[in-house]
Chains A and B, each alone.
Chain A
Amino acid sequence: MRLGDSVPDLTLPDTDGRDHALRGDGITTVVFTCNHCPYALAWHDRILAVASDYADRGVRVLAVNPNDAGRYPADSFEAMKERVAADGGWPLPYLRDESQEAARAFGAKTTPDAFVFDADGALRYRGAPDADHRDPSQDAVWLRDALDTLLVGGDPEPAETEPVGCSIKWKPGA
């Protein structure tokens, strides 16, 4: 997926059994993530904070787990549900991409890998949440800057960064 491309017209189920269209109103952020990757875990709280902080500003944040649960049972739909329940709920839906169609359509590489679409559904930022998974004070600044810029009608800069994390766990033959 390249900058300017449209958000794929796909619908995925969340851990509460609700379906979510990836294409929706307002600014949408899709973050590919998972349960078992240390990079995804290191950035997790920062992603949740973004979802909370921007919820009342017309920004949707969706977490999507596309990993092959056959080889990585920690990423099964059941394990996703258990994780969210153990946390007492998340401020964003945690979606299951069982077919991996969304990950393929986005060209997602890693967990995490973040994609920000403007209100017209065009991709405006893609990459890592910030420069350093080890440093919580980074606070997903690249993601926040992209959202802040879009909210005032500007062009995110940088618009692309290199996603950093564990490789997407594709199903055999995918």
Chain B
Amino acid sequence: MRVELLWWEGCPSHPEALEQLKQVLGEEGLDPEAVEVVEVLSDEQAERERFFGSPTIRIDGEDILPPGEGDPVGLSCRVYRLRDGRPSPVPDVEDVRDAVRRRAYAAG
């Protein structure tokens, strides 16, 4: 299972997102150190990577929370929604956990 965290320096949320992601991977019996951390540095790279804002987490190439139709690709901070509806710079930890489990089970 390939886990990537893409980030941009204009948004300070990636350390929290990385810590959260590693914690979930560890709790699910996976290797927390296997996360590939990728800094997105330019609009061109954002376009190439289909980067919808910082942080973006992908498992096996799929965004754990696919962006909405029309959401722009680019260097920005991504808005997530916690399960109680509040806006947040990082995903709800339970959404991260669900995504990890889905891919882990799918991979057998």
Contacts and interface: CB of A to CB of B under 8 A. Distances in A.
Q: Do A and B come from one complex?
A: yes
Contacts of B74: 71
Nearest to A166: B77
Interface of A: 36-39, 41-42, 44, 71-73, 133-134, 136, 164-167, 169
B77 A37 contact: yes
Contacts of B87: 38, 41-42, 44
Contacts of B89: 38-39, 42, 133
B11 interface: yes
B10 A41 contact: no
Interface pairs A-B: 10 shortest CB-CB: A41-B87, A38-B89, A167-B10, A166-B77, A38-B79, A38-B87, A37-B77, A42-B87, A166-B11, A38-B77
Nearest to A167: B10
Contact of B12 (A44, A72, A73, A164): A164
Interface string B2-23: 0000000011110000000000
B88 interface: yes
Contacts of B88: 38, 42, 134
Given A164-B12, A166-B11, A72 B76 contact: yes
A36 B86 contact: no
Nearest to A110: B12
Given A36-B77, A71-B74, A42 B12 contact: no
Contacts of A37: 77, 79
A164 B89 CA distance: 11
Nearest to B79: A38
B93 to A, nearest CB: 11
Contacts of A72: 76
A61 B85 CA distance: 26
B78 interface: yes
Contact of B79 (A41, A73, A136): A41
A42 B89 CA distance: 8
A38 B78 contact: yes
Contacts of A165: 12
Nearest to A165: B12
A41 B81 CA distance: 11
B40 to A, nearest CB: 14
Contact of A36 (B12, B13, B76, B80): B76
A136 B86 contact: yes
